[in-house]
Structure 1
Amino acid sequence: MSQQPLVSIICLCYNHERFLRAALDSVLAQTYPNLEIIIVDDCSTDGSEGVIQEYLHKYPQLYFISTGHNRGNTAAFNIGWRASHGQFILDFATDDVLLPERVAQQVQHFQSLGPAYGVIYSDAEYISDDSVHLYLHSSKYKPAPDGNVFTDVLQRYFICPPTMLIRREVFEYLGGYDESLAYEDFDFWVRSARRFKYAYLPQVTTRRRLHNRSLSSAWYAKGNQLLASTVVVCEKAATLIAETNEREALASRLKYEARHAYLTGNRKEADRFLELLQQVAETPVLYRLISTLNKYKIDLGFLRTLYYKWRYRS
């Protein structure tokens, strides 16, 4: 019987001391037999490295890399995957938890697909800081049909990032994550989906932790680099679109981002989204109005506040 393909789990840690043992235990509990486990610590300032050293002593099969100085998630991951040897790569944040069959299920699914498939993603359970069940990813987001998901990733969010298992060739083709960006997911999806097919595994494989102060809660805070990175990814996407439905999908995304950027006072980013919208589609009257309001610094952000108070009222 031939050996199963090597899977590299890149365990990314930055100040995850509280969750690190549960995360590493979940990696070590995988039923899949052929794993390469690489822990990358991005110079944590809490007690994370002490926990890591404890595990390195107990489990000599683990491989450890320190980034030397804090470099951010995208650069830390690139260091890890470039040091790896696996046919498949799993990007694992060490505040999340893998279910025991996770890798085995996804590798088996990959083996039922052709080489054109570069990414498998799945369902996930969202948990709180205290590991309390919140909801399932599938209860909020509908997966795209298997195959070419480029149009889907332009238009909407539907992939739970930590559930992805990725063929090594995808990272080799992309050159890894774009280290100039503040986050990696959207850019990875856009660039990889243009070339590789995606498949969905309708099983919960991962417990994803939602922190009280998550990235998304500050997404539209003024001056946030997350929004600036979204602008850059949309600009990249505009160079990749080839069909009318792709153009319409990107236009839909740009309208959404322009609205929210304007209503949260991110005038520079709103301008860039609106300029890009003009390039890819005919600009509707509403967005020409938003452009004018933004130009003259007329603030209607209170409308967004009122809307969210109404929508999420108790």
Structure 2
Amino acid sequence: MPLVSIIALCYNHARFLEAALDSILAQTYPHLEVVLVDDASTDGSADILRRYAAQNPGWQLLLLPENQNNCRAFNRGLALSRGEFIIDFATDDVLLPERITQQVAAFAQAGPRCGMVYTDAELLDESGRFVRHYYRRDARGNLHPRPASGLVFADVLARYFISTPTMLMRRATLEALGGYDETLSYEDFDFWVRASRDWEFQFLDTITTCKRLHPSSMSQRAYRRHDPYLASTIQVCRKALALCRTPEERAALVVRVRWELRQALRHRSRPEARELYQLLSELDAVSPLDWVAFKVLG
């Protein structure tokens, strides 16, 4: 039975933290390792983490003296772990009890070239009330379109479709990438691009995680002016360009870059818009509409 490491990352999650940590204790999968990482919280989170670590002697606790950002904090936790599979667990979310059991079984079916298994999620508001599922379904519960599995490099270039909090990653995949890129302000898009170049992803059609939506979460800050999110996205798009091997993959990247350009123009992020327009030019993909939008708003 493979060891699964949960890297539980906390930054000012005190009001959500007990529910998150209790969801680890409720897992039906028995072979777990837990690494608690507090990224210099200022809200009393460290005291809660100390209490849970004392009550669960096998859990490791890392209290960072200064805020490191998510990518660097995760890598610090990863270095302390030993599991064959890894969960990057934000402690404002909740794991459903069967999550790890289901995903480890999916890895066994998918085979050794599978680098990541992901699933559907429930989205909750700050009070824990259900908002919606991550994926849209028809009246019969069918997904349209069904999230991609297999070699999905072009898919992850063209659109966002993976529910990040649900990912179970193979350690060998993370190690092949050198962990998360610590120069970035967020991790998931970069992981998807670099990992999917050589590893398969597998979608498991079940709900394993409750993702909390609140104003301080990273996903809610995306594309605001002066936020480093878009600058990191541009870095990843440039990595993706270097990894593209076929015209179809370049076409998928064009879709991504054009969408990001629209977001930059919409939010008046002019330096980032200029970089994205330049990247479209390098892809020989500037359309008349791109040119007009850039000249008017950029």
Counterpart CA distance in 1 for 2:20 and 2:146 is 26
Contact 2:46–2:63 under 8 Å retained in 1: no
Question: Which piece of structure 1 moves more, 59-68 or 76-85?
Answer: 59-68
CA distance in 2, matches of 1:210, 1:259: 24
Is residue 42–residue 76 contact of structure 1 (8 Å, CA) maintained in 2? yes
Match of 2:13 among 2, 16, 22: 16
**TM-score (norm. length: structure 2):** 0.95
Distance 1:215 1:8 in 2: 23
User: What's 1:111 paired with?
Assistant: 108
2:286 counterpart of 1:283: yes
Match of 2:134 in 1: 137
SS in 2 for 1:157: coil
Deviation at 1:118, TM superposition (A): 0.4
- Aligned mate of 1:184, from 179, 184, 187: 187
> Which runs of no fewer than 5 residues in structure 1 stay unpaired?
296-314
Aligned to 2:118: 121
- Name the structure 1 match of 2:71: 74
2:190 counterpart of 1:193: no
CA distance in 2, matches of 1:57, 1:214: 28
Does the aligned pair in 2 maintain the 1:40–1:80 contact within 8 Å?
A: yes
2:38 paired with 1:35:
no
Identify which range, 13-22 or 211-220, moves more after superposition.
211-220
3-state SS of paired residue (1:20): helix
AA in 2 matched with 1:255: R
Q: Max radius of gyration: which structure?
A: 1
Q: CA deviation at 1:213?
A: 4.2
Which one of the candidate residues 160, 168, 173 is aligned to 2:171?
168
Q: Is the 8 A contact 2:24 2:95 kept in 1?
A: yes
Q: Offset of 1:282 from its aligned partner?
A: 2.9
Q: Percent sequence identity over matched residues?
A: 47
- Deviation string 1:127-154 (CA, Å, 9 cap, x unpaired) is 0110000001122784433201111110
- In structure 2, the partner of 1:273 is 276
Aligned partner of 2:225 among 217, 222, 226: 222
Question: What SS is found at the alignment partner of 1:172?
Answer: helix
Structure 2, unaligned runs of 5 or more:
138-143
Structure 1 residues 174 and 289: CA distance shift in structure 2, 3 A: same
Looking at structure 2, the residues matched to 262 and 164 of structure 1 have their Cα atoms a distance apart, in angstroms, of 31
CA distance 1:216–1:98, change in 2 (3 Å)? closer
Alignment-derived partner of residue 239 in structure 1: 242
**Separation in 2 of the partners of 1:119 and 1:86?**
14
Of 78, 81, 86, which residue of structure 1 is paired with 2:83?
A: 86
Which amino acid counterpart does residue 198 of structure 1 have in structure 2? F
Higher relative contact order (CA 8 A, sep 6+): 2
TM-superposed deviation, 1:60: 1.1
Is contact 2:125–2:212 with CA below 8 Å preserved after alignment? yes
Question: What is the RMSD computed on CA atoms of the aligned residues?
Answer: 1.3
Decide whether the 8 Å contact of 1:127 with 1:210 is kept in 2: yes
Cα-to-partner distance string for 1:103-134 (whole Å, 9 max, x where unaligned): 00000110112111100000100001100000
Aligned counterparts of 1:164 and 1:270: Cα–Cα separation in 2: 31
The letter for the 2-side match of 1:261 is: A
1:257: Cα distance to partner?
Answer: 1.0
What displacement does 1:80 show? 0.5
- The 1-side partners of 2:248 and 2:265 are apart by 26
Q: Answer yes or no: is 1:54 the counterpart of 2:51.
A: yes
TM-superposition CA deviations, 1:46-102 (whole Å, max 9, x none): 111111111122111211111221111110000011110000001000110000000
Query: 1:43–1:142: structure 2 CA closer, same or farther, 3 Å change rule?
Result: farther
Is 2:208 the counterpart of 1:205? yes
Aligned residues: 292
Q: Which amino acid aligns with 1:258?
A: L
Structure 2 letter corresponding to 1:176: G
Cα distance between partner residues in 1 of 2:127 and 2:233: 31
